[in-house]
């Protein structure tokens, strides 16, 4: 029985935050070994990073295409690749690895356009490969309890959703170097047709989907711009309509001074409600009609067993962003290992963001942009 | 020099919450004496209430019209009347007292229709009378510091506003007696054309105005209904556009389980932000670009003097809803006394919600309703 | 049947905080009318204050002794007097009114010495009069639920107590005028033999007693002094031993920078725990063995009916310090009215701090001081 | 220049929490490779764990003594060993590895007796080896800012300290299997002469030392026992006296229902105060005399550079217990690498708990126990 996978990375050199999160997340549970990589275009650094992380010299590649080809050919080639390159290159890199039969983990946003996203999804399906898109925030351990409570009907039918994600990094950056910053924000080669909706709004969209299972039907978006002549939106206010009738609201901004990385999710059902804040990521606030507010903490005995399985430490010992990342990788690796061992699906579903979630995210962004462009009209996400 | 006013009440019998809030608020600072009243239609109770509250027997009236006429005629007649009757009667009662030359304090919503509101406002202006509409939440002591920080430019130009007001009293009521409750909600004689927007949304609208001085231009509303066939909205999600370019978002619901009376206001400027929550009404959360989050507490020395004046107790000794009410009454009484003493306006502005704020509230509700009826289109509040 | 009382005040002139709290608290529920007073020694101000508060001119006294005598003689004399003078005069003033047959409300600390406190208590008992000592913090509405949960056994046998009360007003004052301040602190005529224990520690002692019913047996105190040569303690750390075996800990300081008026009470039983903080005075944090943390809010339906009775406003509408004061006065007035109507005790106990609580507070302070003086030894409060 | 270390583990098999924390912490920054181990006495599991974690088969030892001897002899032997065995074996295992010239990381409590602790410290000093004792809580990234603010004099001279550490795991365990549990708690072979003071109190003692640099002089302890006949204390209330005059208070309990793993530290100086809670481990609450409360967040630009270096992720992305562990290992590895490269101390001090801190912890526990045994008398920790 296989118990360990080999993986490679494209990007992630020089100790950037995202690369570190992927590498540490993938390694945390000893289910995968970093075996190959093309970490950066700077050859010397590429070699040094690979060496530091224990990658054999002959599997440090100067080029992702060469890596995909060689690793796809070797009998002991990598099982999956983690793509942490700039957004615009997600599509070609992912396509290349899929073409060589290698599973893919990809940073969000999945791609810049819907057809690209659809194509990758189709390609993976044809080749029986798996794609994971790393929306992180739904994968803190306690979030499983949120999903469990919704699924089990404890809060009843969902009637209202409020999701918010303010940060201030953009206005902080602007205050330091407005010219460069604004140009960078406005460069479609870097950011596509959306700034904050693509970078942050997609996280809200996935968070809601992952917690509720609801299917988004249409959006009505009202964008804000700072500075006023910013080429792309810095604030997005979005009305949401779900199949089955639930309505909702999303707000995200990267010019909201005072917010490090606040994410608030509020789900209102007709029997109860659930609230979660990224400022206190290990706890869940739950209310049932007529009862007191309850605060649930990760890994306490009173949680569902499936929820507790996501924790690595006893209650009260905080698990953070890396552990949320590791939860995604653990489920993805479990999926690949089960497939290798001919046991896929026997242990139920795998809880990680899949190709479909990547596609949905791109659709969501495009629908919001179109709504804004058409005078804030309701826009079907299927047309996104 | 006059130092004390006489006032009367219409409604407020039997110790209802709103009546108590008005009476206790009006009396707290010994600036007014309860001198007349028509508290309830039940004659025996009316008499008992008046007696308990020290009203002379001959000034306990069975009828508001008789009270207005008699008090308007007496040389020692009341200076103002507080109207705490059901919404639909605000207009005729207020009109009657204004007609007899008596200043008016009126519970919100001011009136059910815009023309009614405009008429009362005009009538007061013609007679040099004052109208106060009791939107309470902007009048906790610390809220003056909020207004002061905005006015003084400390948080820069406002670029984004988020205001929320969820409660669960409606769904709690529905769970106990759905039939009666739904009928009551849907009775236009009681509620007019709006439920949660009129009852709670107006508070958000005033709160933003009072804190920022911004003038609302247009709204785009997306209503929710629970139960699905409820005749009037139980959730309102509203996009806001202000003159000068600021955008915003308001969300209110009375079917949001787990919320006693949560009100969250967030003001984002380009130099800082201010956040306030009714769940911690004595403190303000302030951030300046690049600095740490600061928590300001009511009546601390570091506050502006105008802010500190609103506190009656040392920092850390909580002042609540009655004291917020009393702050409105204190300013209103100060205004009337200054007028009596020929000193109106010499001590600057009076910070209480005026006729104009009452009119604005009614316009706001009507514009939201029209937006919803026209497929969630932007609607000018001037047309509300 | 009597439904209203007459009361007078000694002290409370010039709008001082404590005087205002007593007057507003006593008047809030229309159970008592301010009928007489000797508010300040400044004759002109005394007259003006009395007039402003509606006291008949002939019942504004320049002297408390004259007031006690005259009011004790009149058939329509006051039912009770509220004493809000400096600490050292509590004893003679209270004794004088009791001697003239008038019930007493007295600010804490009750007296400066134990024999004085015992004498007042005895005197009241002999004359069938009631004494109330206004320890406020145990009388926020939600605190009744705390007491109820303890009494009903919901948290089991109490095994540990932690009570804390830090403020920073003393060090703020010292920073402004160290010389004057230190002298004032050290003047035994003003402060007796204790500073922070007498001024703040007594509140913790009563809070624990009122919530748990436990009887304090002995204390071991470890004082701190700031500045180092301060004549009286500015920090008190106190170990507590209760009859029946429960242990506890109290900490209070008036030189703890950053605290407006923080009071934290934590009660640990063998089936659950209760936590309360004055920074969020309307809510209670309750945990039962193995269950999630619950947040209870004042006046919610799920509370005990006795707890809900203490609230004047719907859940979520904050009641503050004045309302806590009013809760004490409401119970005290209810007690006196029941006695007048021959119905005392028929409606159960009256929940306000009584003579015994005043005596206990003085004993507590003296026992702590003695413990400190004897090298931090355990000291019986009975010997305090 | 050496950039990587080899390390081994004794204990930590079967994925226990502590073992995982050490392994993940040590590996996080790629400064050390797990090269040898004796993880558990169960030979099959030992082999499987080693294999899973990539340890070469010939360096998986059935016996710690054999491991110390062999690794001490090999030219490529391990640089340090992490000891995560039951408390009673810390001493012999650590002594054995030191004897073979291998640096030591040891779980707390360091040893059961003071002479043992002193002997290990002396042994390491003689051989120029380093010892690290893993008190974790002082090593969350934001705690460096706490230490920095104290050191730089920002809060002035420290005049009062309050440290608390309640949990409920013991009473939860007792509720499930009282007999076994009580026996286990009472077995001196397992727990030595102290339960909660040794297991949790030591963390408070180190936390204060690490944040303030103050030297503890004497303690006065008052223990609590649950159940009443428990052989060792389940609650410890401790008065603290520091050299230079600061006083303090520590409270810890493992029968405090409702606490997952609460740790609260409050430092009061004469110019400001700092508060930190493990329930919100990434933020610090700071107040300066007369100013508002400030909330500082990890890795924000306004922090000291030394504080920011401890963060691996942008502000707002929570780092948890593993990352705190990794911070200890990173500093320890930096120390060993600097020594190897002949650069020790050139980059300033290394911020991790050292042999001296291990000794201090054992002294602290023994002094508390002695104080309790001598009727709660002040006890010098030098005599502990």
The interface predicted TM-score (ipTM) is: 0.96
Task: Report how far apart, in Å, the C-alpha atoms of C93 and of each of C16, C63, C65, C97 are.
Answer: 19, 10, 8, 6
Contact (CB<8Å) C316/B278: yes
Residue C348 binned pLDDT confidence (cut-offs 50, 70, 90): confident
DSSP-assigned letter for residue A107:
P
Contact (CB<8Å) C294/A292: yes
What is the spatial distance between Cα C340 and Cα A97, in angstroms, rounded to a whole number? 91
Residues of A in contact with C149 (CB under 8 A): none
* Phi, psi values for residue B241, rounded to 5°: -125, 125
State yes or no: pLDDT of B345 exceeds 80: no
Residue D384 binned pLDDT confidence (cut-offs 50, 70, 90): low
What is the spatial distance between Cα C331 and Cα C139, in angstroms, rounded to a whole number? 10
Nearest to residue B82, comparing CAs of B137, B166, B18?
B18
Q: How confident is the model at residue A278, as a pLDDT?
A: 98
% chain A with pLDDT above 90: 90
Q: How confident is the model at residue B318, as a pLDDT?
A: 98
* Axis crossing angle, helix A355-373 with helix A114-126, rounded to the nearest 10: 160
Residue B244 binned pLDDT confidence (cut-offs 50, 70, 90): very high
Nearest to residue B267, comparing CAs of B285, B279, B254?
B285
State yes or no: pLDDT of D175 exceeds 70: yes
Contact (CB<8Å) C259/B316: yes
Q: How confident is the model at residue D177, as a pLDDT?
A: 85
Q: Is-contact C358 C131, C-beta < 8 A?
A: yes
Q: How confident is the model at residue C93, as a pLDDT?
A: 98
- Which residue in chain D is spatially nearest to B298 when comparing CA positions? D292
Residues of A in contact with B178 (CB under 8 A): none
Beta carbon pairs, B and C, within 8 Å: 96
Beta carbon pairs, A and B, within 8 Å: 117
Contact (CB<8Å) A317/D28: no
Q: Which two tokens stand for residue B61?
A: 């009236």
State yes or no: pLDDT of B360 exceeds 70: yes
Q: What is the mean pLDDT of chain D?
A: 95
Contact (CB<8Å) A258/B271: no
Torsion-angle region of B293 (φ positive above 0: left; ψ -120 to 50: alpha; else: beta): beta
What sign for the dihedral angle of Cα A212, A213, A215, A221? positive
What is the spatial distance between Cα C319 and Cα C298, in angstroms, rounded to a whole number? 9
Q: How confident is the model at residue B120, as a pLDDT?
A: 98
Q: Is-contact A357 A332, C-beta < 8 A?
A: no
Nearest to residue A18, comparing CAs of A82, A62, A95?
A82
Contact (CB<8Å) D235/C160: yes
Residue D188 binned pLDDT confidence (cut-offs 50, 70, 90): low
Contact (CB<8Å) A318/D317: no
Which residue out of D146, D154, D289, D293 would a mutagenesis test of the B interface target, given it has the greatest number of B Cβ atoms within 10 Å? D293
State yes or no: pLDDT of B97 exceeds 80: yes
Q: What is the pLDDT of residues C244-288, one digit of tens each?
A: 999 999 999 999 999 999 999 999 999 999 999 999 999 999 999
Contact (CB<8Å) A255/B270: yes
Q: How confident is the model at residue B184, as a pLDDT?
A: 67
Q: Is-contact B293 B190, C-beta < 8 A?
A: no
Separation in Å, CA of A37 to nearest CA in chain C: 45
Q: Which two tokens stand for residue D57?
A: 């088969």
Average pLDDT over residues D311-335: 98
Q: How confident is the model at residue B65, as a pLDDT?
A: 98
Residue B190 binned pLDDT confidence (cut-offs 50, 70, 90): low
Average pLDDT over residues A188-205: 88
Q: For C291, which of A290, A293, A302 is closest by C-beta distance?
A: A302
Q: In what order do the strands lie in the sheet with A5-11?
A: A32-38, A5-11, A80-84, A103-106, A131-133
Average pLDDT over residues D266-280: 98
Contacts from C114-118 at CB under 8 Å and sequence distance 24+?
C114/C359, C114/C362, C114/C363, C114/C366, C114/C384, C116/C91, C116/C362, C117/C358, C117/C359, C117/C362, C117/C363, C118/C359
Q: How confident is the model at residue A239, as a pLDDT?
A: 98
Neighbours of chain C (3+ CB pairs under 8 A): A, B, D
Contact (CB<8Å) A290/C296: no
pTM > 0.95: yes
Q: How confident is the model at residue A14, as a pLDDT?
A: 79
Residue A150 binned pLDDT confidence (cut-offs 50, 70, 90): very high
Residue B186 binned pLDDT confidence (cut-offs 50, 70, 90): low
Q: What is the dihedral of CA A332, A334, A340, A341, to 10 degrees?
A: -160
Q: How confident is the model at residue C346, as a pLDDT?
A: 73
What is the spatial distance between Cα C175 and Cα C75, in angstroms, rounded to a whole number? 52
Q: How confident is the model at residue C222, as a pLDDT?
A: 98
Burial (0-12, 13-18, 19+ Cβ within 10 Å), B1: exposed
- The chain C residues in contact with chain D (CB within 8 A) are 155, 159-160, 162, 164, 166, 168, 171-172, 175, 220, 222, 224, 226, 228, 235, 237, 239, 245, 247, 249, 251, 253, 255-258, 266, 268-273, 275, 285-290, 293, 375-376, 378
Q: How confident is the model at residue A190, as a pLDDT?
A: 66
% chain B with pLDDT above 70: 97
In sequence order, the 6+-apart residues with CB closer than 8 A to the CB of A175 are B289, B290
Residues of B in contact with C54 (CB under 8 A): 30, 33
Q: For D317, which of A259, A261, A318 is closest by C-beta distance?
A: A261
DSSP string over B193-231: T-SHIIIIIHHHHHHHHHHH---EEEEEEEEE-SSTT-S
Residues of D in contact with B291 (CB under 8 A): 302
The residue ranking higher by pLDDT, C343 or B21, is B21
Q: What is the pLDDT of residues A29-87, one digit of tens each?
A: 999 999 999 999 999 999 999 999 999 999 999 999 999 999 999 999 999 999 999 99
Q: For B280, which of C53, C280, C320 is closest by C-beta distance?
A: C280
Q: For A296, which of C292, C300, C301 is closest by C-beta distance?
A: C292
Q: What is the mean pLDDT of chain B?
A: 95
Residues of A in contact with B293 (CB under 8 A): 258
Q: Is-contact D275 D164, C-beta < 8 A?
A: no
Average pLDDT over residues C95-115: 96
Q: How confident is the model at residue D323, as a pLDDT?
A: 98
Residue A383 binned pLDDT confidence (cut-offs 50, 70, 90): confident
Q: Is-contact C145 C307, C-beta < 8 A?
A: yes
Q: What is the pLDDT of residues B138-176, one digit of tens each?
A: 999 999 999 999 999 999 999 999 999 999 999 999 999
State yes or no: pLDDT of C186 exceeds 70: no
State yes or no: pLDDT of D279 exceeds 70: yes
Exposure letters B125-155 (e unless 16+ CB within 10 A, then b): eeeebbbbbbbbbbbbbbbbbbbbbbeeeeb
Average pLDDT over residues C208-214: 98
Q: Is-contact A233 A223, C-beta < 8 A?
A: yes
Q: Is-contact C235 D248, C-beta < 8 A?
A: no
Q: Which two tokens stand for residue C346?
A: 């028929």
Q: What is the distance between the terminal CA atoms of chain D, rounded to a whole angstrom?
A: 43
Average pLDDT over residues C125-129: 97
- Which residue in chain D is spatially nearest to C275 when comparing CA positions? D258
Query: What value does the CA radius of gyration of chain B take, rounded to a whole number of Å?
Result: 21
Burial (0-12, 13-18, 19+ Cβ within 10 Å), A127: middle
Q: Is-contact B32 B102, C-beta < 8 A?
A: no
Residue D185 binned pLDDT confidence (cut-offs 50, 70, 90): low
In sequence order, the 6+-apart residues with CB closer than 8 A to the CB of B261 are B167, B278, C314, C315, C316, C317
Q: For A281, which of D312, D314, D318 is closest by C-beta distance?
A: D318
Separation in Å, CA of C318 to nearest CA in chain B: 5
- Which residue in chain C is spatially nearest to D275 when comparing CA positions? C258
In sequence order, the 6+-apart residues with CB closer than 8 A to the CB of C106 are C82, C83, C90, C94, C131, C132, C133, C134, C358
Contact (CB<8Å) A160/B270: no
Give SS3 for B254. coil
State yes or no: pLDDT of A345 exceeds 80: no
What sign for the dihedral angle of Cα D115, D116, D122, D123? positive
Q: Which two tokens stand for residue B272?
A: 């800082």
Q: How confident is the model at residue D292, as a pLDDT?
A: 98
Q: How confident is the model at residue A186, as a pLDDT?
A: 62
Q: What is the pLDDT of residues C349-371, one digit of tens each?
A: 899 999 999 999 999 999 999 99
Q: Is-contact A367 A380, C-beta < 8 A?
A: yes
Q: How confident is the model at residue A187, as a pLDDT?
A: 67
- The chain B residues in contact with chain D (CB within 8 A) are 286, 290-297, 300-302
Q: What is the pLDDT of residues C15-34, one digit of tens each?
A: 788 999 999 999 999 999 99
Average pLDDT over residues C166-184: 86
Q: How confident is the model at residue C15, as a pLDDT?
A: 75
Residues of C in contact with B262 (CB under 8 A): 316
Exposure letters C103-115 (e unless 16+ CB within 10 A, then b): bbbbbbbbbbebe
Residue A188 binned pLDDT confidence (cut-offs 50, 70, 90): low
């Amino acid at each position: 029985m296989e118990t360990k996978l080999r993986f490679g990375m494209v990007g992630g050199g020089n100790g950037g935050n995202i690369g570190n999160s992927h590498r540490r997340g993938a390694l945390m549970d000893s289910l995968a070994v970093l075996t190959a990589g093309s970490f950066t275009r700077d050859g010397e650094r590429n070699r040094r990073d690979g060496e530091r992380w224990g990658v054999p010299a002959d599997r440090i590649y100067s080029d992702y295409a060469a890596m995909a080809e060689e690793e796809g050919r070797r009998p002991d080639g990598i099982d999956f690749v983690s793509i942490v390159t700039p957004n615009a290159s997600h599509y070609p890199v992912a396509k290349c690895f899929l073409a060589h039969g290698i599973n893919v983990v990809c940073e969000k946003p999945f791609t810049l356009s819907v057809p690209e996203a659809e194509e990758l999804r189709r390609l993976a399906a044809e080749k029986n490969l798996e794609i994971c898109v790393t929306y992180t925030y739904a994968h803190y351990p306690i979030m499983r309890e949120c999903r469990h409570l919704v699924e089990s009907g404890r809060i009843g039918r969902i009637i209202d959703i409020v999701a918010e994600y303010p940060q201030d990094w953009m206005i902080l950056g602007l205050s330091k170097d407005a010219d460069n910053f604004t140009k960078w924000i406005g460069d479609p080669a870097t950011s596509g047709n959306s700034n904050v909706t693509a970078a942050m709004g997609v996280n809200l969209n996935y968070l809601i989907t992952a917690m509720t299972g609801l299917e988004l039907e249409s959006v009505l978006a009202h964008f804000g711009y700072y500075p006023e002549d910013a080429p792309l939106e810095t604030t997005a206010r979005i009305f949401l309509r779900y199949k089955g009738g639930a309505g909702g609201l999303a707000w995200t901004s990267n010019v909201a001074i005072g917010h490090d990385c606040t994410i608030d999710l509020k789900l209102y059902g007709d029997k109860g409600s659930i609230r979660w804040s990224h400022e206190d990521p290990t706890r869940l606030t739950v209310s049932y009609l007529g009862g007191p507010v309850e605060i649930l903490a990760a890994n306490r005995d009173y949680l569902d067993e499936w929820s507790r399985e996501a924790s690595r430490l006893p209650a009260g010992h905080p698990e953070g962003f890396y552990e949320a990342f590791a939860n995604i990788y653990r489920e993805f690796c479990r999926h690949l290992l089960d497939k290798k061992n001919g046991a896929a699906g026997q242990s139920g579903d795998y809880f990680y963001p899949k190709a479909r979630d990547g596609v949905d995210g791109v659709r969501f962004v495009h629908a919001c942009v179109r709504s804004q462009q058409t005078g804030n009209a309701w826009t079907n996400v299927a047309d996104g």
